[in-house]
Structure 1
Amino acid sequence: MLGEFVSAEQYARLLQRGQQDSEGWLQFDPAQMQNHYNRHPFLLQHRLNQHPMFDIEPLFELARRHPANKVLFRRGDIAPDADFDASFVRTDTELTLDHLLTHFEPLHGYICINNPEQDAIYRPQIESLLAEITAHTHPLDPHITWYSTYVFISAQGAVTPYHMDREMNFLLQIRGEKTADLWSQTDPLIMSPAQKDRLLAYEGTRPPYKPEFEQRALHFSLRPGLGLHHPFIAPHRVWTHSNLSVSLAFTFRTRQSDRHTAAHQLNARLRRIGLQNPKPVGESAWVDGAKAASLHALQRLRHPLQHAEH
């Protein structure tokens, strides 16, 4: 399973650590956080481009020793509207990780290292960064319940195709230059309420890209020392411009995003039994909370022993 759940006790320790750290690697603007967090994308600054653990050779070594199922790789020069979930299904079955690492730039390589926090060498640094994020999101969105990190290494011309995640994200550019295109998660022309319900219920494929979306995109230029906040389920696409790029992504969920996820999942159930237009998630906090509670009650009825053990 990708990522880790965060207990209340662990969250309290992370919060205390983040609040006490006066020399952090991440630089959050309080006004930007207050005005834009989880509503609109925004840029932030960081110093990870100065950290030796995120140089190319240590990261290539991490890729070599990390569990094979945690390291996804392919050629990077794919269509920007390719299916994201199928993009790592390699048609070139002779492409190996060692070969790609040796000939990374000529092959326009693209590597995603899932969960570097599970590596003994990288875990202390990742947890330190998570503590910083916890301290700055807590006043607005308390209690991170789950997180997962990813290191992206890509050559010039590599593309991360259009897709949306089921959580929030801070994408931190460490080496090279990228353009990140984001779309509003609240724009019904980009994702309808029904599409969002199915996305969070893991029904079918993610909502697809359409050419008419292009004029609604927001474009962000990323260079070393800049990061970008992705709101909950905001669609995005990323292009690598420099010869070699390194990025670190922190994806996370909170109690609030968990409530929204559960409300979307209940809406998906209501649609399956014939209610075509349940109230969209996000219009009423009270209704969203009631839907989340209803879904959890249904789950307890279906799996009483499982819930009794908790």
Structure 2
Amino acid sequence: MTDRPDAAAASARLIALDPALMARQFPAEPFAYRHALAAEPLLQLGALAALAGRLPRDRLEYNSGRLKVDQKPEETPTVDLEPTEIVRQIETAGAWMVLKNVETIPEYGRLIHRVLDEAARAAGHADHRAAGMKEPMGFIFVSSAHSVTPFHLDYEENFFVHLHGDKAMHVFDNRDRSVIDEEGLESFPGKHRNHRYRDAFAARETVFSFKAGEGMFLPYTWPHWVETGADWSISMAITWKSAADLRLNKLYFANAVLRRLGMPQPAPGKVPALDSAKVALYDIARLPLEPLRRGEAMRRALRGLLFGRSANYFYGSKA
């Protein structure tokens, strides 16, 4: 990694962000930093096993860690363990697991807000709300040694913190359409996050390597894949979206749906009036669904009804 602040700088704060570095690169470019979260009690294995037992089932996803960078979703091997046991046995389970939306648990929500408030202040704002950091979320990754997270991209901004073991993230510029084309950016709930990877992409990657106490900022939709080292691993993605990100998410969704109907669309920004119409229609269509999405059973039913059984792919590994 490059541009690492001195380790002592992290001692007084949860996350050590250099205001000068933030001014140069945030939020357009990735950069590395140090943090003080590796010793946080909420992020130790015992606490995470308990957390796995508190979260709704569709907030837990797990499978074998022995995956390819270019993994076909339908060929992903599973792990025949309950979520709490995967966490407890992660040293020998040969597994990869993510605990999603941990911000819904109050103590984790407070921790996420503290980190984002510190990041906002480093960028010259009073707190994360003043900085326009919307929809704060947390995703905690627990992985066995030599696990791979296949090539994909995420639709949020990410303050990534590594907590235990070694990990490497292979990152690609999201402006390079030879890596992810416009259709690849389009997203809907029935579309798996994995993308096709070609060996030729390696010439375009930047590799960020992490030990406990190190992290990086990963911007919106920057493609990446991840591998762990010779020890089990814990990491956390502390995410948020800007107003621009939220608007693009709506457009990528609308364009994906229209493409499935045989009507491929111009990229966002090419026809502003058309973009505005799509966003307005998205908001109208989404409004009556929001109250229904608060319960796990209804979320699962809605995904299956609207997007097919494949939209509930994360239930496939349930023992």
Task: Please state how far the C-alpha of 1:71 moved relative to its aligned partner.
Answer: 2.5
Matched, 1:79 2:65: no
Of the candidates 10, 28, 46, which is equivalent to residue 17 of structure 2?
28
Q: Secondary structure, in 3 states, of the residue corresponding to 2:38?
A: helix
Aligned to 1:297: 280
Q: What is the aligned counterpart of 2:39 among 50, 54, 74?
A: 50
CA contact (8 A) 2:168 2:210 kept: yes
Superposed CA deviations along residues 96-131 of structure 1, whole A, max 9, x for unmatched, are 335434432222232211122222443322332232
Structure 1, unaligned stretches of length 5 or more?
Answer: 1-21
Q: For 1:105, what is the secondary structure of its paired residue?
A: helix
Structure 1 letter corresponding to 2:248: H
* 1:232 corresponding residue in structure 2: 220
Matched, 1:147 2:136: yes
Does the C-alpha gap of structure 1 residues 136 and 275 become closer, same or farther in structure 2, counting only changes over 3 Å? farther
- What aligned pairs does 1:72-111 form with structure 2 within 5 A after superposition? 72-83=61-72, 91-92=78-79, 94-111=80-97
Contact 1:263/1:291 (<8 A) preserved:
no
- Range that drifts further, 133-142 or 225-234: 133-142
Conservation of the 8 A alpha-carbon contact between 1:178 and 1:223: yes
Find the counterpart in structure 1 of residue 197 from structure 2: 209
1:260 to 232, 237, 248: 248
Cα 1:225–1:273 change in 2 (3 A) is same
Q: Number of aligned pairs?
A: 276
Decide whether the 8 Å contact of 1:259 with 1:292 is kept in 2: no
Indicate whether 1:178 and 2:167 are aligned: yes
Verify the 8 A CA contact 2:50 2:84 in the aligned structure 1. no
Residue 112 of structure 2 is matched in structure 1 by: 126
RMSD across aligned positions (CA): 3.4
**TM-score, normalised with respect to structure 2:** 0.73
Q: Secondary structure at the match of 1:48?
A: coil
Measure, in 2, the Cα distance between the counterparts of 1:58 and 1:126.
16
**Native 8 Å contact 2:112 2:137 kept in 1:** no
**CA distance 1:104–1:204, change in 2 (3 Å):** closer
2:119 is paired with a residue whose SS is helix
Q: Distance in 2 between matches of 1:269 and 1:104?
A: 38
What is the DSSP-based 3-state SS (H/G/I as helix, E as strand, rest coil) of the residue aligned with 2:91?
Answer: coil
Q: Is the 8 A contact 1:44 1:226 kept in 2?
A: yes
- The answer to whether the 8 Å contact 2:162/2:235 transfers is yes
- Residue of structure 1 in register with 2:59 after alignment: 70
Q: Distance in 2 between matches of 1:180 and 1:214?
A: 12
Partner letter of residue 167 of structure 1?
E
Q: Work out whether residues 165 and 235 of structure 1, in 8 Å CA contact, stay in contact via their aligned partners in 2.
A: yes
If the length of structure 1 is used for normalisation, what is the TM-score?
0.75
Note if 1:117 corresponds to 2:100. Answer: no
Q: Matched residue of 2:93: which SS?
A: coil
Q: Secondary structure at the match of 2:66?
A: coil
Report deviation, 1:203: 7.5
Letter in 2 for 1:75: S
Equivalent residue for 2:209, pick from 217, 221, 245: 221
The correspondence for 2:153, drawn from 150, 161, 164, is 164
* CA shift in 2, pair 1:178/1:303, >3 Å: closer
Q: Deviations over 1:73-95 (max 9, x none)?
A: 23212222214x668x6545x43
Q: Deviations over 1:223-274 (max 9, x none)?
A: 1111111111111111111412111101221112123334445655776788
Partners of 1:86 and 1:133 lie apart in 2 by 38
| Structure 2 residue aligned with 1:251 | 239
- The more displaced of 96-105 and 241-250 is 96-105
Given the alignment, which residue of 174, 178, 190 partners 1:189?
A: 178
Please say if residues 171 and 222 of structure 2, whose CA atoms lie closer than 8 Å, have aligned partners that are also in contact.
yes
- How far 1:292 moved relative to its partner? 4.0
Could you tell which deviates more after superposition, 131-140 or 162-171? Answer: 131-140
Contiguous gaps of at least 5 residues in structure 2: 1-10, 290-319
